[in-house]
A and B are shown apart, each in its own frame.
Chain A
């Protein structure tokens, strides 16, 4: 009962590492599939209620101006992408590293530790993209109609991908920094500010009359996801130029992934 000996000096073939990577991804997809209703409820509920209350109820009661829901919808797509990416990665990672140790079997698979982290990011991105895509029909149902421009779709898709990856990056950083005992505190300290300073409920340029808050929101990378979503769907609303958003998002991703992967290695290897 011994493995076929690999001659000395030959590193593990890329094929073998890729197979391990695919198997780990398949495991995550299978688990998501088997709890699909829970997954959908988890990711849709919050944006659904925000959309319903702010887009529908307040509008019907005349507390918001006509057209506010058009402005809100792209922001909620951004919010769904970022929050889902973050939740998908951070919560399980904290539990797996700190409590159940479930991740150990994957860390001991013949693949580099960095690839295990990369799979986490890819999976979280895929889940966030799915959730964001599902928000489009949900928006149509709740609001009756959504702002839509076919010419804006390429930028919309790019924003969805970058937003989902941003969420995954934030999740990786949080998931490797937080110990299970602090998970509740840290998440409420990070979640709420992230939720409300990400320009999902208001366009950034309109904050010029509230300068200090405009600066605060400029520091939240989610702002740039919201803004580029608006550029894609409702270009008539003042927004930050898309290329600026994309550059800022790419820079944020680089920083988050660097910190996150380093944190992952620190947690994976003593």
Chain B
């Protein structure tokens, strides 16, 4: 049984002329970490909303833990847990009671809930703060409490909507570590993010979403490998004074086999008589293979190579390739 299965899912909000989610289809296997990557407004949160029974699909089907969320929302709710973007902790209850009441809503017996709350508070570094109310908590602490709370009823699938947006770096690393632990325990994680680094780091597979559509879906490596001209080679060249212009050089580089395109970068001149040109070559395949040919090309022209930097493609490049826009 798949953990999450979505087919032809569509959501159009009332009074809107476009579909917020526009016919997406995919499946998530049990124990998988699935990341939905896209800019704000891509339809990620709406997708999670539909999968977690809070948004009613306009058409299509969504199953979580084998339960149809559209026709059996109540049963689906015991299969899943949600960690939202913004804290929705119960401000009238202590952190510990946030956890134990969540368990009670889900029918976990009091003794078991109490033991599990202690265990999770410990794991999430909150043992000392169990009796504090969440008003005083920072974003990172609230996030930890919400993840701990979500685990109280041992859901089959844990949905995390932008789990680290707005967190400071230390809090982000802490959340990432906890999520990796959960993955090791075989919990299925479904996360949305607009942070490509986060997606590449955590997710087994990444779906790239924009304007309500799923543009690509694969393991991060495959997405990046499939990208034409995404490895880069940045060269710094001592221009000298033998009459070459950056433009002629660019044409020469572009003619090399394996180079997709060449982009001039701003020049600088650390010494007044010796300007330094910078160019970036977009390469298909391994960028390092082009170091020797470019050096030869420059030497033939009496120019010398002063610096080389190899760049690997990122999911951001994949996104730019698919949409023509940057992620943010």
Q: Identify the A interface with B (CB < 8 A).
A: 1-3, 5-6, 8, 10-12, 16-17, 19-20, 23-24, 26-27, 30-31, 34, 100-102, 104-113, 268-270
Contacts and interface: CB of A to CB of B under 8 A. Distances in A.
Contacts of A5: 65-66
B49 interface: yes
B309 interface: no
Contact of A100 (B55, B56, B88, B155): B88
B74 A100 contact: no
Of residues A5, A11, A101, A105, which shows the largest number of chain B Cβ atoms within 10 Å of its Cβ?
A: A105
A112 B75 CA distance: 9
A108 B185 contact: no
Contacts of B73: 112-113
Contacts of B327: none
Contacts of B86: 101
Given A101-B84, A101-B88, 5 more contacts: A1-B185, A5-B65, A5-B66, A100-B91, A112-B73
Given A8-B66, A100-B88, A102-B91, A108 B77 contact: yes
A6 B89 contact: no
B107 A19 contact: yes
A3 B56 contact: no
A114 to B, nearest CB: 10
B104 A23 contact: yes
Interface residues of B, number: 47
9 nearest A-B pairs in the assembled complex, by CB-CB distance? A109-B105, A23-B104, A101-B88, A110-B78, A270-B55, A31-B92, A104-B88, A110-B77, A12-B74
A100 B93 CA distance: 13
A1 B153 contact: no
A24 B105 contact: yes
Interface of B: 13, 30, 49, 52-56, 65-67, 72-75, 77-82, 84, 86, 88-93, 97-98, 101-102, 104-107, 149, 151, 153-156, 182, 185-187
Given A24-B105, A27-B101, A31-B93, A108 B53 contact: yes
Contact of B156 (A3, A12, A16, A108): A3
Nearest to B151: A1
Nearest to A115: B74
A100 B101 CA distance: 17
Given A2-B156, A3-B153, A20 B106 contact: yes
Contacts of B80: 108
A12 B13 CA distance: 29
B101 A23 contact: yes
Contacts of A20: 104-107
Contacts of A110: 74-75, 77-78, 105-107
Contacts of B186: 1-2
A104 B106 contact: no
